[in-house]
């Protein structure tokens, strides 16, 4: 079918082709206006103005996904484009990918279990299928993880705001808010191509409003600079001045007229071929002359043209009277002149107006700070929801309602980043924090409070990373942050998005990495404030039926087999890295998502339990995809797995059959310490159980994160170690000297052995480093919403035993900072060479360091023999019994240097005979080697 171009008004500039999803034509203008407005014009230099339709050459020449905006429909992205491979990779019988072995880590560790190996191979095939499906729909991993550039609400360079939402179960979609009087009809998705597609993606345009007396922009390519410096782009040049300058400096005579109409070139070409009254339909189309005939006619028509008008061009004749119309020779002078010119971007940029010009001419369609919701009409009736991709949400006082807040601060108010990411350390000393309870006053603390009072303390304490819990917007304050409602929003309880950016930036300036405790294993079940029944259906983001509900926690379970859900979750991870520059993620409660029984089953350790019918393969594929995407896009990112079942291969490379995490959490350690303190007498503690629990599986110990206690007491009703050891207060007048000495000694020893015996990572919860005497309990109905236990008593830092415990903890952290203890030794691991349940003594080596622990409550050993490999002098560099740490100072300073004796002990060539008081620990360093 032929369509006439002689009258450009007959052609819609937005007519989609039959092979494209109708929303494709809207995405470029939407995506290019997000965080890259200052580059949007340059990136679209080879794209038509207006909605900016990309040419095929434009996309084909794109070398980096991060360089250009992506105008694709997230429901059917790049439907026509095929990945590099033509067939499903799982159909290839011989896997040609180098270095990929689906059961590689089993071979490495000598694990032989046929059923589990078969499961890993099948899982790898499924992942290849998933990857094939993803690359049929997304250009690359960056594209998959950048959904936030399209969905949600975004400023467009052409004085408007674009909104997109995924709600496949809805029949009608509109935005309601204080900006339109909460009207469900004023700002709705249009019917047909540009409002929604067949995959459930809805698109709404909120046009900025002309102020009274102002006229619309004359040229369709007019753009406004919203996010750069305040005055940048306000050159004052009129469009007429720009055209004159372009005519004088760039254009050949007459060329600029094509800029005013995008169809003039095509119309002139059509007219040249068919005449001014050419055929309007395919039936009227006559036979088109061959290229040679058309070329000769063209040359005859232009034989008298002046040289300055057109270049001297000729079609190459190969001597056989066969013309190659694609190989043209031209005047060399003209050729060099044309190719020496740069694209005319600079002229267009002169017409881009700054924010002042926009404010003068327009009022925002939705002002910064406006409250809004998305309105759906569904088969079960109308409903309002907080948009799933909202970046700032304000719950009301009782938590049953919430509003999204349009966050578009003016440039002078937007946060300007000052610091870079700190380098990735070889060992992690993580300080776990909750912003709300970080203050001393009985209230919810803010980001600003945390910046001023807590960050300096963390730096002084010697930690190199912070882990934040409860930062993502969640249902009810007392849920700590684990019933997430809005995955892209910083919790408004603590401040604004700009406040959180400042917190991260200040932390980076102090050399602290920032990790987020991310909850992708389940979500809040509340409908009005979360994703449950988001579009009126039960299967939008979550499984339907029983599988979609956690058996014990009343939360919703994601459907990891749905590509739109994967797009949402993977983009969410990338959002926190790109928008807030976080350095890593602690993946919370993986066992609840990896098994259909949500991890609430008795595990015996049989490998069959990791590959039976209760395993959710889709959840594993998501975790592999999440780790691959994060580590590909951000090579220095750190991911930590929290899995109570210690699934095999948590920290193995995905190419070797693992899940790709950098660290895993040993959850058995804090449970063991609680069990010892609450259920056993001091002399009944088992050294063998202590070591086996702390060291765990030696095959994975180099990736293990250990802690003695974390925030769990805040939601489990338990007590901190200090509360168990000292009671609710450490008052010397109400506690005996013996009890105080016991509590102080065990508190230090528990932390020191946990810190040094395991892998290269350690975690401490806020306040526990100085023996915070009270547990954490959030305000809730059962305690009359009291804040008495929802704070931290920082004033204790300067008092008695708390000051002594903090001094010890600082020196313990400094031990790793200076000596690199956690990253030294044989593969970074400790070698336990002395373990005696009778004497209750444990000794292990880690590189040039010797660690000695005497847990016996009464027995002291004046000269205890322990083996060492290297003969020489050993100096005590840390002693828990020093008086400045609240100890008795039983070891004299002249005993701090010990020389080895040539006698085999513990299977080693030499030994030390050292004083070892009860309930004390020492760290020795080999400072001088003696040759025997």
CB 586 within 8 A of CB 515: yes
Residues 6+ apart with CB under 8 A from 341: 250
CB 786 within 8 A of CB 801: no
CA 918/CA 854 separation, integer angstroms = 6
Instruction: Return the number of other C-beta atoms located less than 10 Å from residue 437's C-beta.
Output: 25
Strands (E), 578-703: 584-587, 638-641, 663-665
Of 568, 627, 486, the residue nearest 145 (C-alpha): 568
| Active site annotation includes 642 | yes
Query: H helices of 510-616, where?
Result: 563-580, 591-594
State the Cα–Cα distance between residues 312 and 71, nearest whole angstrom: 39
Alpha carbon distance 524, 533 (integer Å) = 11
Residues 559 and 548: beta-carbon distance below 8 Å:
yes
Catalytic residue among 642, 652, 723, 819: 642
> What letter does residue 551 receive in the DSSP assignment?
T
Residues 6+ apart with CB under 8 A from 560: 566, 569, 593, 616, 618, 619, 621, 622
Q: How far apart are CA 12 and CA 181, in angstroms?
A: 33
Q: What is the DSSP string of 778-808?
A: ---GGGTT--TTSS--GGGGGSHHHHHHHHH
Taking the alpha carbons at both ends of the chain, their separation in whole angstroms is 96
Question: Could you tell me which residues come within 8 angstroms of residue 410 by beta carbon, excluding any fewer than 6 positions away?
Answer: 230, 355, 368
Given phi > 0 = left and psi -120 to 50 = alpha, else beta, which region is 334?
alpha
In angstroms, rounded to a whole number, what is the distance separating the alpha carbons of residues 26 and 864?
A: 77
Per the structure block, which two tokens stand in for 793?
Answer: 């008593």
Report the SS3 class of residue 363. Answer: strand
Q: In which element (H, E) is residue 678 found?
A: helix 668-679
| Residue 494 near residue 436 (C-beta atoms within 8 A) | yes
Residue where the block lists tokens 């080999």: 926
Pairing mode of beta strands 638-641, 584-587: parallel
How does DSSP assign 263-309, residue by residue? Answer: THHHHHHHHHHH-TT--SSTTT--PPPPHHHHHHHHHHHTTT--TTT
| Three-state DSSP state, 834 | strand
For residue 317 the two structure tokens come to 């004749």
Residue 7: C-alpha distances to residues 15, 274, 277, 284, 832 (Å): 16, 14, 11, 17, 86
Measured CA to CA, the distance from residue 265 to residue 48 in angstroms comes to 13
Distances (CA, A) of 840 to 236, 837, 888, 914, 918: 82, 5, 20, 15, 10
CA distance 468 to 435: 7
**512: phi then psi, degrees, rounded to nearest 5:** -100, 130
How many whole angstroms separate alpha carbon 435 and alpha carbon 776? 13
51 three-class SS: coil
Tokens of 48: 């038509």
For residues 915 and 890, the answer to whether their CB atoms sit within 8 Å is: yes
CA distance 611 to 600: 16
Residues annotated as catalytic (active site), given as ranges: 642
């Amino acid at each position: 079918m032929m369509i006439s171009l002689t009258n450009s008004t007959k052609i819609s500039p937005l007519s989609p082709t039959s092979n494209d999803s109708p929303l494709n034509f809207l995405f470029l203008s939407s995506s290019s206006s997000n965080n890259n407005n200052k580059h949007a014009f340059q990136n679209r230099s080879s794209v038509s103005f207006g909605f900016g339709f990309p040419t095929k050459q434009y996309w084909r020449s794109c070398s980096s996904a991060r360089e250009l905006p992506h105008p694709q429909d997230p429901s059917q992205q790049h439907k026509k484009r095929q990945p590099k491979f033509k067939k499903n990779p799982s159909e290839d019988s011989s896997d040609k990918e180098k270095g990929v072995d689906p059961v590689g880590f089993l071979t490495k560790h000598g694990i032989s279990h046929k059923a589990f190996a078969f499961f890993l191979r099948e899982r790898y095939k499924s992942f290849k299928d998933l990857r094939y499906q993803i690359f049929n729909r997304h250009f690359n991993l960056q594209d998959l993880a950048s959904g936030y550039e399209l969905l949600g609400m975004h400023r467009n360079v052409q004085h408007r705001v674009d909104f997109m939402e995924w709600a496949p179960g809805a029949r009608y979609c509109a935005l309601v808010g204080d900006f339109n009087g909460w009207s469900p009809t004023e700002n709705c998705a249009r019917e047909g191509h540009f409002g929604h597609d067949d995959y459930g993606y809805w698109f709404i345009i909120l046009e900025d409003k002309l102020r009274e007396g102002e006229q619309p922009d004359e040229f369709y390519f007019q753009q406004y600079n919203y996010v750069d410096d305040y005055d940048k782009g306000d050159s004052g040049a009129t469009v007429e001045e720009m055209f004159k300058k372009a005519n004088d400096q760039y254009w050949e005579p007459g060329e600029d007229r094509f800029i005013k109409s995008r169809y003039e070139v095509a119309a002139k070409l059509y007219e040249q071929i068919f005449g001014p009254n050419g055929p309007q339909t395919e039936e009227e189309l006559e036979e088109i002359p061959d290229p040679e005939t058309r070329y000769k006619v063209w040359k005859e028509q232009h034989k008298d043209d002046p040289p300055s008008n057109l270049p001297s061009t000729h079609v190459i004749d190969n001597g056989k009277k066969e013309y190659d119309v694609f190989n043209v020779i031209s005047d060399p002078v003209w050729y060099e002149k044309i190719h020496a010119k740069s694209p005319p971007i600079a002229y267009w940029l002169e017409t881009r107006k700054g924010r002042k010009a926009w404010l003068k001419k327009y009022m925002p369609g939705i002002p910064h700070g406006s409250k809004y919701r998305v309105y759906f009409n569904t088969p079960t009736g109308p409903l309002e929801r907080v948009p799933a991709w909202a970046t700032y949400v304000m719950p009301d006082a009782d938590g049953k309602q919430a509003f999204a807040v349009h966050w578009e601060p003016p440039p002078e108010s937007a946060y300007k980043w000052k610091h870079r990411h700190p380098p990735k350390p070889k060992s992690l000393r993580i300080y776990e924090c909750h912003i709300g309870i970080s203050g001393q006053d009985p209230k919810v603390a803010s980001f600003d409070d945390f910046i001023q009072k807590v960050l300096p303390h963390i730096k002084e304490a010697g930690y190199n990373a912070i882990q934040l819990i409860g930062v993502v917007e969640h249902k009810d304050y007392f849920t700590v942050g684990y019933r997430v409602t809005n995955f892209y929003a910083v919790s408004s309880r603590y401040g604004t998005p700009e406040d959180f950016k400042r917190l991260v930036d200040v932390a980076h300036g102090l050399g602290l990495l920032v990790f987020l405790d991310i909850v992708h294993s389940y979500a809040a079940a509340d409908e009005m404030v979360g994703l449950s029944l988001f579009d009126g259906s039960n299967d939008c983001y979550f499984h339907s039926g029983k599988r979609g509900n956690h058996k014990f926690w009343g939360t919703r379970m994601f459907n990891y087999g749905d590509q739109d859900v994967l797009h949402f979750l993977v983009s969410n991870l990338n959002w926190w890295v790109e928008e807030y520059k976080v350095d890593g993620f602690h993946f919370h409660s993986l066992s609840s998502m990896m098994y259909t029984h949500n991890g609430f089953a008795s595990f015996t350790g049989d490998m069959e339990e990791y590959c039976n019918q209760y395993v959710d393969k889709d959840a594993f594929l998501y975790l592999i995809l999440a780790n691959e995407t994060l580590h590909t896009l951000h090579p220095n990112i750190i991911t930590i797995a929290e899995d109570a079942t210690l699934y095999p291969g948590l920290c193995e490379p995905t190419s070797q059959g693992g899940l790709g995490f950098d660290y895993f959490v040993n959850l058995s350690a804090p449970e063991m310490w609680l069990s010892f303190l609450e259920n056993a007498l001091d002399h009944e503690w088992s050294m063998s159980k202590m070591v086996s629990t702390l060291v765990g599986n030696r095959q994975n110990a180099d990736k293990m994160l250990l802690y003695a206690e974390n925030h769990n007491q805040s939601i489990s009703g338990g007590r901190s170690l200090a509360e168990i050891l000292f009671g609710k207060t450490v008052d010397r007048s109400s506690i005996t000297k013996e009890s105080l000495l016991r509590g102080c000694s065990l508190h230090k020893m528990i932390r020191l052995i946990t810190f040094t015996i395991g892998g290269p990572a350690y975690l401490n919860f806020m306040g526990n480093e100085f023996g915070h005497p009270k547990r954490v309990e959030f305000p809730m109905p059962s305690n009359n919403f009291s804040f008495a236990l929802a704070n931290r008593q920082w004033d204790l830092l300067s008092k008695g035993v708390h000051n002594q415990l903090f001094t010890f903890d600082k020196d313990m952290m400094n031990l790793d900072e200076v000596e690199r203890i956690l990253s030294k030794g044989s593969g970074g691991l400790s070698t336990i060479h002395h373990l005696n349940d009778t004497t209750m003594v444990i000794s292990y080596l880690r590189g040039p360091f010797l660690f000695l622990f005497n847990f016996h409550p009464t027995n002291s050993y004046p000269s205890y023999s322990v083996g060492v490999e290297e003969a020489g002098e050993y100096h005590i560099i840390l002693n828990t019994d020093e008086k400045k740490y609240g100890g008795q100072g039983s070891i004299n300073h002249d005993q701090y240097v010990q020389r080895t004796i040539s006698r085999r002990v513990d299977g080693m060539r030499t030994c030390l005979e050292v004083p070892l008081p009860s309930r004390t620990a020492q760290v020795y360093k080999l400072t001088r080697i003696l040759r025997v």
